[in-house]
Amino acid sequence: MSLKKFIIALVCSIGFLSCEDILEVPDISQQSVNLLAPSDGSILDVNAISLNWEDVDEATGYSVQVATPNFENAAQIILDSVIEIDTLGYLPTQLQQSLFNGSYEWRVKAFNSGFETLYTGNAFQVNGDEDLDLTPPNTPQLVSPGNGSDTSNTEVEFTWNREDVSGTTERDSIFIYSDESLQDLTTKALGANKAHTGSLSAGTYYWFVQAFDAAGNESNASNTFNFTVNN
């Protein structure tokens, strides 16, 4: 999108102008996305893959997908991402993705508010580190203190469950906040054997746990529980 049209669109979106007679959505449906890398048939000796393509004039976003071994016989859709133009008019034409060794196909299509192109795709092979750990730890499941519970003990024992994943060493981090919006961090600590004990003053607290491994993978954060320490 040109800078002029982007500014007009921004002004219209905040209600300063009626845009029906100002903006005409360009038809990009006959264009195609030129994929740069990985090129079709390439063999990569790294697992951290950079997907790169050329920009399409008048596009406001891209749909990027990766499948294994290909889209016609997809065993798994590895990536299904939408990239859209930001408020400053910046639209990326690159995406990073870590992949296990194997065969893949990736494809991109461009779109704007009225039209879209067809997908353009390339097949490639990843032949990197056979021992690479790309599997994140499982999401921790909180046990105690139970959600909405009360305790008169200022020495609080936190426990949770999480099944370990084979691979690199995993660890759990616990986060304890004194406000519901999770802005005032009271405690951040490493758990040991799915547990942590800490001293807290009277008040209401909010806590969750997230797991990490030595390869840099991280789990989703657990649900957030709240509990109250009484005087």
Same domain, 60 and 118: yes
Q: Decide if 168 is inside a domain.
A: yes
**81-105 confidence digits (pLDDT tens):** 999 999 889 999 999 998 988 899 9
Q: Domain boundary residue among 126, 161, 180?
A: 126
Same domain, 109 and 148: no
Q: Domain boundary residue among 126, 160, 192?
A: 126
Residue 100, pLDDT score: 87
Looking at residue 101, what DSSP letter applies? S
Is the full-model pTM beyond 0.85?
Answer: no
Q: Which two tokens stand for residue 122?
A: 């390339």
**151-193 confidence digits (pLDDT tens):** 999 999 999 999 998 878 899 999 999 999 999 999 999 998 9
Please give the torsion angle defined by the CA atoms of residues 109, 110, 115 and 117, in that order, rounded to the nearest 10 degrees. Answer: -40
CATH number of the domain residue 82 falls in: 2.60.40.10
Same domain, 30 and 122: yes
Is the pLDDT at 8 greater than 60, yes or no?
no
Angstrom CA distances, 160 to 53, 77, 90, 140, 225, stand at 44, 31, 42, 6, 11
Same domain, 105 and 182: no
Q: Which two tokens stand for residue 56?
A: 């399409």
Residue 32, pLDDT score: 95
Residue 3, pLDDT score: 52
Residue 213, pLDDT score: 87
Same domain, 109 and 39: yes
Percent residues over pLDDT 90 in the chain: 72
Q: How far is CA 155 from the centre of its chain?
A: 36
**201-230 confidence digits (pLDDT tens):** 999 999 999 999 887 788 999 999 999 999
Beta strands in 127-169 (DSSP E): 141-144, 149-151, 155-161
Angstrom CA distances, 25 to 8, 21, 119, 183, stand at 12, 11, 20, 42
Higher pLDDT: 129 or 33? It is 33
Higher pLDDT: 9 or 161? It is 161
**How many angstroms separate the CA atoms of 13 and 125, rounded?**
44
Same domain, 98 and 153: no
In total, the chain counts a number of residues equal to 231
Range of the domain at 220: 141-229
Is the pLDDT at 110 greater than 70, yes or no?
yes
**13-63 confidence digits (pLDDT tens):** 555 555 554 568 899 999 999 999 999 999 999 988 999 999 999 999 999
The H or E element spanning position 5 is helix 3-13
pLDDT band with cut points at 50, 70 and 90 for residue 137: very high
Residue 111, pLDDT score: 96
Residue 203, pLDDT score: 95
Q: Decide if 8 is inside a domain.
A: no
Q: Domain boundary residue among 77, 103, 126?
A: 126
Residue 217, pLDDT score: 85
Same domain, 34 and 121: yes
Same domain, 122 and 97: yes
Residue 7, pLDDT score: 56
Residue 105, pLDDT score: 97
Count of domains observed in the chain: 2
Is the pLDDT at 2 greater than 70, yes or no?
no
Same domain, 115 and 162: no
